[in-house]
Chains A and B, each alone.
Chain A
Amino acid sequence: MNSNSEVKLRQFRDTLELAGKGYIFIGIWNVIKIFMTYTMQQSLMDELISDLKAQELSSKEINATLIFAFAFVSLFIIMIHFYIGLGAIKYAREKSVKKGYLVLSVISLVITAGLLPLYFLGADYGGNGVDDKDIASILVDLTMIFIFVDILYSTHMIKKHSATADDKEAIAG
């Protein structure tokens, strides 16, 4: 009941479940950020609208395009986050053995880590250097990287200690 493998299994399952929940919350936060951008960041919206006006679209068409674009992006983000998060949670609770969430985790980790330097290269539009908004975004991205690493590590350790626990059961049996 309290062998090293069993204790470690509980610990890493708990960690994996927590990481999964954390990633889902970050996904919800990203959608809220998108909504806030759509409703409050006037300069960005003006730029987008002027780009669309250049294509000779009516106001209604512009609005519809913007709403559709933001809804599509939000949905895509939520789906990714929930797929990874729920996959991790189900694996932690032993309700699933599928590890598809790991593939997406690795891809997301590479993308997030790869894009991190862009904050410092001034590649974001409308700004020079790193401002407060960027610092907040960097912190969130670092948190996501930590969560990805945690998910990968915890999954690996669960697999390792499950094998050890199974071996011990087989020997005891």
Chain B
Amino acid sequence: MQEDFHYYATYCAAYLAGYDHAECMDICYSAQFVDLCSATLLSKIKAPAAAATTQLQLEMMDTRTDVIGLQNITRIWSSFHFLPKDLKASHNRRPKVYMNKYRLICGPNGELVKRTAELAKGKSLQAAGIAMHVIADTWAHAYFAGTPSLVINNTTDDFYEIISGDEGETERKIHFRHSTSTPDDPGNSIYSNSLFQRNENTIMNLGHGRAGHLPDYSFIKYRYMPAWNDYRIIVKDNPSDYWNAFCQLIYAMKYLRYDIGEFSTGTYSYDIAAPYETRIKTILGKRQIKASDDWKAFGEELSGEKIEDFDINRYQDEYMSTSAENRHDTFLGKFTDAAIAHKSMVCHEIYSSGNKLTGFEKIVHSVNDNRNGLFKKKHG
């Protein structure tokens, strides 16, 4: 998903869940910050590199794809953007090497979604924001894995957009071009995607690159054939998925607020969102690359407050000007603590399932481990 959903839509969901404006801002800022908290940024503010929740394109160009490098990539992307749905999935006649990657395929309502929500309960608003980002991405990035893998993440070139009209649904072929500098053209179904790369572990085969940005556009419904699905076609209905994601975020945040006793997957707060369903579905269905303006207007109507635009630098000075002992109480300090804890939980679950693609995460690190200096980076 993009800023329109991670920042503005999450704000709206948080408000509908019962948070006030200031709390909504903290949550949505944290949710969006997950897409920007790279090792480069952490190095700049002298924060622990273990808290990285994403990798920049330039970082990925330089990253190694040996065993250690692949583990580092998988730890970040599987934890925050492609949360595995079923770590115990089975498939006939596939070796362990294949199954390790197959079991990292992302999808909504897996056991790890429940664990994510439970981990964030009773913690900071930043932890809530991270959890909301992760849960939202399970809907958008479903059917792709957060590890470089040709045999999982590759697709054929046959993508078809399914367009609803007065006479029912029609299909239009999607044309891909490999030009990141040219914006996507939804009007003519021309989009960018990553080039086919034969190497199994190349970074180009990470995540949903072969589908371009299609998973991140809320308006599009399309069908395609992924490499892992044994020649079966998948229909990805983003408007429906994003609606479910929004309602699940409300539900999850009500759980975090102790309004709900136990978190259950496959449960959504449709009743709370119902009065705004038409408005929200109109935003989701509108054919536009970014729906930030529409979500922002909706959020400001809901709360009656102004939603500040996202500023990556907002909390950096606070963090850098605070002494090392007190940084955990700053906004970014709480964010890094929560990120480390979440990553540790997910990687531990993956390791416990017998899968070593994220390395040997034998211990689950809590929020306090960073406070106690476990990940302290020594700077000159």
Contact = CB atoms under 8 A, between A and B. Distances in A.
Q: 8 closest pairs, A vs B, by CB?
A: A10-B231, A11-B231, A2-B232, A7-B231, A1-B233, A7-B232, A2-B233, A7-B230
B223 A10 contact: no
Contacts of A14: 231
Nearest to A1: B233
Contacts of A1: 223, 233, 235
Interface string A1-20: 11000011011001000000
A94 to B, nearest CB: 13
Interface size class of B (residues with CB under 8 A): under 10
B170 to A, nearest CB: 15
Interface in A1-47: 1-2, 7-8, 10-11, 14
Contacts of A2: 232-233
Nearest to B158: A10
Contacts of B223: 1
Interface string B221-235: 001010000111101
Interface in B203-240: 223, 225, 230-233, 235
B51 to A, nearest CB: 42
Interface size class of A (residues with CB under 8 A): under 10
Interface of A: 1-2, 7-8, 10-11, 14
Contacts of B232: 2, 7
A8 B225 CA distance: 14
Nearest to A13: B231
B340 to A, nearest CB: 41
**Most chain B beta-carbon contacts within 10 A, residue among A1, A2, A8, A14:** A2
B161 to A, nearest CB: 15
A2 B225 CA distance: 11
Nearest to B225: A10
A2 B231 CA distance: 8
Contacts of A7: 230-232
Interface in B223-262: 223, 225, 230-233, 235
B210 to A, nearest CB: 17
Contacts of A10: 225, 231
Given A7-B231, A14-B231, 12 more contacts: A1-B223, A1-B233, A1-B235, A2-B232, A2-B233, A7-B230, A7-B232, A8-B231, A10-B225, A10-B231, A11-B230, A11-B231
A7 B230 CA distance: 8
Contacts of B230: 7, 11
A14 B229 CA distance: 14
B151 to A, nearest CB: 14
A7 B225 CA distance: 11
A4 B232 CA distance: 9
A11 B225 CA distance: 12
10 contacts: A1-B223, A1-B235, A2-B232, A7-B230, A8-B231, A10-B225, A10-B231, A11-B230, A11-B231, A14-B231
Contacts of A11: 230-231
B228 to A, nearest CB: 14
Contacts of B233: 1-2
A9 to B, nearest CB: 9
Interface in B271-330: none
A133 to B, nearest CB: 29
A1 B235 CA distance: 10
A8 B232 CA distance: 9
